[in-house]
Amino acid sequence: MTKGVKGHRITVEPSERHVRVVHGDRVLAESDAALVLHETGCPDRYYIPAEDVRLDLLTPSDTHTHCPFKGDASYWSLPDTPDVAWAYPDPKPEVAEIKGHFCFYDAEIS
C-alpha cells in the first residue's frame, strides 16, 4: 500500500527476501514473511511478524516515540543493548499491515 502526505510517502509490501536479525551470537528473529516499509527520507525497514521474533530474549523498554505517519512506537531491549527493536501496537490505518510486527535496527537480508 502506498500513502502520501505533503510529499511524504510510505509503501508497505511483502518482502521477497529472507530476513535474519543477529546480535552477537544470538539470532533474534528470522523470517520469510517479513514486510518491507519504504518511507521518504528513511532507509528501508523490515517488519518481522511477532511469531518469528525471539520475544523470550527481549524486554519491554520504557522508550516510546511518536511518528506522525505511523503512530506511537514501543521499544524492546536486550540486557546489553537498549531499544534494539520497536513495534507499532496500534499503527495508523495507512500502515495497518505493520501491526503485530517488530522492526530492528540491524537486519541481514538474503
The pLDDT tens digits for 7-37 are 789 999 999 999 999 998 899 999 999 999 9
CATH number of 2-109: 2.170.150.40
The pLDDT assigned to 25 comes to 87
Q: Where are the domains of the chain?
A: 2-109
Residue 4 has pLDDT above 70, yes or no: no
pTM, full prediction: 0.90
DSSP 40-83: TTS--EEEEEGGGB-GGG-EEEEEEEEETTTEEEEEEEETTEEE
